[in-house]
Structure 1
Amino acid sequence: MDMMDRLAARIDGLEGRMIAHRRTIETLLDLSPESVRAAMLAWLEEREVMLDGQEDPGVVAGPEAALELALSDEMRLLHDHLAAAAQR
């Protein structure tokens, strides 16, 4: 296995762990009382969400923004999950 294959395997492994963590958090939130879900939703809504290019439309995000964009995306996914659950 060459270096690129090892890197791809490591990235796949990290992505799998991230998905497992998200599913675990979503399940914990689903099992939580409404007050906890509402507080978490409010907390997520208070956070400034950085979307690719929307924080400054004239700037193209570079590799240095990848971590912040990934963090923002994960928070958005949790927010969307909680918001959808609140509609049920």
Structure 2
Amino acid sequence: MTDTPLSILEARLEAQRRLLARLVAALEPGARQPVMDWLDQHDTLRDGQEDPGAVPTDDMGAALAVSEEFRLIARLVGDRLHEVEQGEG
């Protein structure tokens, strides 16, 4: 298997992130809110520490990346909803 350059993987991830955000934003508010609540509950690493990530361990890198990804998706959903509201006005 050929190694894929990191820049290509990052671009693919960004495309998927944007698509997910548009799909969530397109949901009816009653269906969207539980998804947004779920993203909100999972956008912070909860490991029992007062300051999560203050003492990094080797296995925390992936968990922190997942948390950051959820945060980015939620932000993109908010941005998309704002765009839609601006377009209606």
- TM bracket (short chain): 0.5 to 0.7
The equivalent position to 1:38 in structure 2, one of 33, 39, 42, is: 33
2:63 alignment counterpart = 68
User: Per-residue deviation at 1:12?
Assistant: 1.3
Distance 1:22-1:63 versus aligned 2 partners, 3 A rule: same
Report % sequence identity.
Answer: 22
Q: TM-score, normalised by structure 2?
A: 0.65
The two structures, once aligned, show a CA RMSD in angstroms of 2.9
- Deviation string 1:41-70 (CA, Å, 9 cap, x unpaired) is 11122336129x93153x1x2553221111
State the one-letter code of the partner of 2:31. Answer: V
Give the partner amino acid of 2:34: A
Partner residue of 1:15? 10
**Matched position secondary structure for 1:30:** helix
Matched, 1:81 2:58: no
Runs of at least 5 residues in structure 1 that lack an aligned partner in the other structure: 1-5
Aligned length: 78
